[in-house]
Structure 1
Amino acid sequence: MHDWHKILVAVNDSDDALRAIRYVGQVASASNTVSIHLLYVYPDPPPDYYTKGGTLDAYREIMVDQAGTALRLAISNLTKLGISEEAITTSVQLADGLTISQAILNAMDKHQCNTLVVGKRGISKNEEFLFGSISNTLARKTKGFTTWIVG
């Protein structure tokens, strides 16, 4: 059995992600050995982004700024629930041709985490059909670690 104490939490600026953060904080605050990695994955630029004069550097700057806001809020919530700042690490990354789900799965390996936590976005059936559901995809592809989907 894997050690659940190495937790990767996929973060974005949604209420569902914040609910997942609060859940992790409540559950993990009882442990002295927990380590939490907050991951913000942002998608590749839209197809017409470059033809409209956008640059990758400008896009990254915008996305990293958004990520910083979401990560600061996540850290604040975790520390208020008793998780020490030393137990929290963060990373921000471009999906870089991958789906968000695949980028999250790759990060699980890279950061050697044994528990994945994601918030369920609550998208409609039509949106799920058109764009897919990150939480559903992760639930299907979970292998060798535990996944918590917080709705």
Structure 2
Amino acid sequence: MDCTHIMIAVDGSENSMRAVDYTAAIIGCRGGFTVQVVHIERLPDRDLFPDEAAWKENCNAYAADMRRFLADSRQKLLDAGMGSDDVTELYVPSCQRPSPDQEALRCSHGATISQEILRCMEEGGYGTIVVGRRGLSKAEEFIFGSVSSKIVHHAKGCTIWVVS
């Protein structure tokens, strides 16, 4: 794995934007790095909405918000001095999405977010994964788990940056 080939996994939170900011500060104006900002889509349960139309509207609004977040993340890296050819975005839609993304090269099959991030890492040959740390207490982390904790425990052959 090439440690200069970096994947930043984001979820739209302040902590994931801090991971972008940290990466920008560390490598921004140095050459020789490539970065892909990745988001794995997780759709809300259909049962939370009164009807199919409301669910689809929510899913589409979420996708639009996350695509803006990816674009903002990319722009932060460019503003820090990275070249436009060195920073890319990847939105991995859910395979259960109500309006399938015809342009998507792959989709998330419903595995855990951490498994999908690790799959992207392996497929993309990333040597470094950057994630924001979710603000969980030790008890919450034990009960619910945390994406960053699972990545740290299951990733092999790469460097993990967990930014809080």
Question: Where on the TM-score scale, by shorter chain, does this alignment land: which range?
Answer: 0.7 to 0.9
Contact 1:38 1:91 in 2 (8 A): yes
Deviates more, 1:7-16 or 1:63-72: 63-72
- CA distances 1:34-75 after superposition (whole Å, capped 9, x unpaired): 1101101121431515x7423685454223212112112211
Find the residue that maps to 2:35 and give its secondary structure: strand
Q: Distance in 1 between matches of 2:51 and 2:72?
A: 32
User: What TM-score, normalized by structure 1, do the two folds share?
Assistant: 0.87
Q: Which runs of 5+ in 1 are unaligned?
A: none
2:84 matched residue in structure 1: 85
Contact 2:2 2:125 in 1 (8 A): no
| Amino-acid identity (%) | 28
Q: Match of 1:80, as an amino acid? A: D
Find the residue that maps to 2:3 and give its secondary structure: coil
Find the residue that maps to 1:148 and give its secondary structure: strand
Q: Match of 1:128, as an amino acid? A: E
Q: Distance in 2 between matches of 1:107 and 1:44?
A: 19
User: What TM-score, normalized by structure 2, do the two folds share?
Assistant: 0.80
Residue 150 in 1 paired to residue 148 in 2?
no
Q: Distance in 2 between matches of 1:74 and 1:17?
A: 9
What is the RMSD of the two structures over their aligned residues, measured on CA atoms? 2.0
Match of residue 52, structure 2, among 46, 51, 54: 54
43 and 126 in structure 1: CA distance in 2 versus 1, 3 angstrom threshold: farther
Q: Distance in 2 between matches of 1:75 and 1:48?
A: 34
TM superposition shift of 1:88: 0.9
Find the residue that maps to 2:156 and give its secondary structure: coil
Find the residue that maps to 2:111 and give its secondary structure: coil
TM superposition shift of 1:126: 3.9
Q: Distance in 2 between matches of 1:87 and 1:11?
A: 18
Match of residue 140, structure 2, among 96, 107, 127: 127
Find the residue that maps to 1:143 and give its secondary structure: coil
